[in-house]
Structure 1
Amino acid sequence: MSKRTASKYKLDRRMGENIWGRPKSPVNKREYGPGQHGQRRKGKLSDFGIQLRAKQKLKGYYGDVTEKQFKRAYFEASRMKGDTGQNLIGLLERRLDMVVYRAKFAPTIFAARQLVSHGHIRVNGQKCNIASRQIDVNDEISLGSKAKEMALVIEAQSLAERDIPEYVVTDGNDKVTFVRVPTLDEVPYPVKMEPNLVVEFYSR
């Protein structure tokens, strides 16, 4: 299992954007990057720099996805029919931890991953603790009995900062169904994501 070793909000500041749309993000107060050189004037990015930045932003948004996992998702997307960028978004949104996050069972993608790895999530009634598991259309994702009482879950369900997207259909407070693989336009990113630049980065 991968583990984030750096502060997650450093990514916000490095990109200069509130990637997860959280009200307590430090970028809301300090738009410059972290570290002693964070306030230096930014130079113009090269094409490679723009592509790398787009890749780091998209990979960072999905939490503790390793470079190896992300690259594997890209190669899988490139082998599928249709637009590679759209396919990549579809594969990332089908991750179990992401569906848990979209269902508002957890306040952050990092908390969603923890909820899965601690065995609090059921897929079609079966316990699953693999955050990277690919969910299929019409799979049911539900909370375990202990998770329904957790303060973390109750807090997440009351958050006003984001809504449950249309491709995740709720059935009460503790169960959702993944009804279709979303397109880029349907995914509620707080900031602009550019999967086409990610494709360019890996296909160099």
Structure 2
Amino acid sequence: MSKRHSAKYKIDRRMGENLWGRPKSPVNSRSYGPGQHGQRRKSKVSDFGLQLRAKQKLKGYYGNLTEKQFSRTYEEAARRKGNTSENLIALLESRLDAIVYRSKFVPTVFAARQFVNHGHVTVNGQRVNIASYRCKPGDVVEVRERSRNMALVLEALQSGERDLPDYITLDARHFSATFVRAPELSEVPYPVKMEPNLVVEFYAS
């Protein structure tokens, strides 16, 4: 099993939820935690515990970002005008690796980060290999011509596992996607409930 798959399934098992809605997630067949104590009755979780879990879940969903990356994103969301939790989601969905994943160029968020890092993507015609690069509304993200025949890309584009959200328009024929606008929380197709308001409370406390 590859390192990416191990990390993905480890996060699912720790959270006890199928974060990405994948059919092979271990929690589909077993909802309790790993190990001999996995089926113990769970004690009541404190407010801090709920906030921490919400943060770990959201952070893990985007390819298990480092704490430093995630806290910086929160700080920027807090500086911006408007609702901090909505700003946080908009910033996370503006990441280049998130847009590559949403556009169905790759099957997972983990693959999206690697795909960008290996130089397979351009933004407005310029090669960008930084997964955390923040796209602006109107930016066109395209798979480079030499990378379009990769099995990973072709399989992901043909998969009916995920739907394309309204804030991205896809031109599958030219392997390009346009980031139309930063989304609101209600528009993001999370397979599980995300609670960015609890993430804000975690950092604000």
Give the equivalent residue in structure 1 for 2:51: 51
Q: How many pairs were matched up?
A: 202
User: Equivalents in 2 of 1:121, 1:35: separation in Å?
Assistant: 41
Aligned residue type for 2:41: R
**CA-to-aligned-CA distance 1:82-128 (integer Å, 9 cap, x gap):** 00000000000000000000000000000111110000000001111
Give the equivalent residue in structure 2 for 1:193: 194
Aligned-residue RMSD, C-alpha = 1.5
Between stretches 154-163 and 18-27, larger displacement belongs to 154-163
- Structure 1 position 181 matched with structure 2 position 189: no
Alignment of 1:95-114 (within 5 A): 95-114=95-114
Give the equivalent residue in structure 2 for 1:16: 16
SS of match in other structure, 1:149: coil
Aligned residue type for 1:198: V
TM-score computed with the length of structure 2 as normaliser:
0.95
**CA-to-aligned-CA distance 1:45-82 (integer Å, 9 cap, x gap):** 00000100100000000003110000000010000000
Identity of matched residues, %: 66
Q: Comparing both structures, which one devotes a greater share of its residues to helix?
A: 2
Closer, same or farther in 2 for the Cα pair 1:4/1:78, shift >3 Å? farther
User: Equivalents in 1 of 2:141, 2:5: separation in Å?
Assistant: 29
Alignment of 1:83-162 (within 5 A): 83-162=83-162
Alignment of 1:22-41 (within 5 A): 22-41=22-41
TM-score computed with the length of structure 1 as normaliser:
0.95
**CA-to-aligned-CA distance 1:9-61 (integer Å, 9 cap, x gap):** 12112211110000000000111112332222211100000100100000000
Aligned residue type for 1:197: L
CA contact (8 A) 2:157 2:172 kept: no
User: Equivalents in 2 of 1:144, 1:82: separation in Å?
Assistant: 36
Aligned residue type for 2:19: I
Aligned residue type for 2:122: R
Give how far 1:201 is off.
Answer: 0.4
What are structure 2's unaligned runs of at least 5 residues?
none
**CA-to-aligned-CA distance 1:156-194 (integer Å, 9 cap, x gap):** 011111111110111233001101000000000000000
